[in-house]
Chains A and B, each alone.
Chain A
């Protein structure tokens, strides 16, 4: 079945550094979503990508829809302490019911002030 592989699993960075993480799949996706989960809260949608090659920004966050349609990337520039959390990628579950998403296992980000 479809699987999304996120890397790295965790990151420990210094405040002010840039961050890069990615999500890969063996299947083609036509939508990529990036979520962030703050400690103790539910995931919140950050960025949605709908077209191969698309580059979309949300403040200091930039996400890209890979041209192969099998990967996506999320970059955070000039990290700050509130960037701490778990970042999930997600895509439509083509093998399941319409409306379902599948999620990667997440990248846990820790930021040292």
Chain B
């Protein structure tokens, strides 16, 4: 199916564990993004990528790692999860700044 998919939809992990959130898009869009959404903060950009093998930090990158070896995939890894990383994470893709398409999100709880 065409679109952008995130997995898992829900995840509970323990403090200190490494966890990877997956994002896959089928349009071959150049740009991909990771956001976190927290009450009172809106959408905050974690990392973005303009093309395969090109990534850059957003507003809140600390504690996160990304890679983009293939255009269609943009996984986000929390190297050592902390409670402050409990959030809803959204992946998005676009071909220009004329509009993103978002995934359905991953709700991550760190206990």
Mark A residues whose CB is within 8 Å of B.
31, 33, 40-45, 48, 50, 88, 92-93, 97-101, 103-106
Contacts and interface: CB of A to CB of B under 8 A. Distances in A.
Interface of B: 30-31, 33, 40-43, 45, 48, 50, 56, 90, 92, 94, 96-105
Given A97-B48, A100-B48, A105-B41, A42 B90 contact: yes
Interface of B is mostly: strand
A103 B43 contact: yes
Interface of A is mostly: loop
Contacts of B42: 88, 103-106
A41 B43 CA distance: 13
A50 B97 CA distance: 11
Nearest to B42: A105
Contact of A42 (B30, B50, B104): B104
A31 B103 contact: no
Given A43-B100, A99-B50, A99-B97, 5 more contacts: A43-B90, A48-B98, A99-B94, A100-B97, A101-B100
